[in-house]
Structure 1
Amino acid sequence: MSQLILMATDARLSRPASIALPDEGLQLDAVLEKMAGAQRIWLAVLGDTAVGLAAFLGEDPDCPEIGYGIAPGYRGRGLARHVVSALRGFAEAQDLKGLTARTLSSNPASAAALLARDFTLVATETEPGFGEVQHWRWDNV
């Protein structure tokens, strides 16, 4: 991962002109809809191409939920682990209490990215419209 650029401290997103989008795009409309009300939004950049988005979500500024996604053509390269690591590093630098995350049980790659960065699985629930959802937590101790 070349860099994680803070794009906005709310749901407004702007893309630097020098950053290209991947051929298949980032599905910005769908992602931004999911990130509505985000505390902060980052653009994950590899070289000069935007390859993903990440955000601090939820209402708790001291322990936000993280959300992230990698463009389909860039998945399977360990980039989500780099994004989670950068988000955790930001949380540590800001002295946040911790971070939470939710993943679909059908997405083991996302769970692996969290496990690799010391998140702990705290619960699994069935959520209408989503199926089995895993709840994760990392505490800044």
Structure 2
Amino acid sequence: MMILPCLKSMTWVMENKNSTPANKVAVINLKLQDYTKTPAGESEVKFTLSRVTLEPTLRSMAYISEQLSTPANKVAVINLKLQDTETTSGESEVKFQVSKDTLGAMLRSMAYIREQLSNAIEPKQDNLTKRPRK
């Protein structure tokens, strides 16, 4: 059996926060723990998700989560294909394993990110609606 890195943590920041939902992106940062290296090594993967790319990612992760509900399935392997301008092929691949709990936490984060990406800009001031009518 192949031992793959495990997801250690996931953080993100929103970019173009004050932009329209179509232009907003979330920059995701995954920290992976690799136990095959001695001492155990840690690597980082960064990528961006827009509203368009987040939807299929969420669907796939929700499906994987369902598969992990089966007692026989203890861990799932996630394989991310990333468009990468720094490689000659134009894409890179990241594989790591997750447990049901870890994936659940990822899904909650992704759902929150989706909300943030979907939110339209709040109007700065809308005094007309707040004033009591005389």
Structure with greater proportional helix content: 2
TM-score (norm 1): 0.29
Bigger RCO (CA 8 Å, 6+ sep): 2
Greater Rg by CA: 2
TM-score (norm 2): 0.30
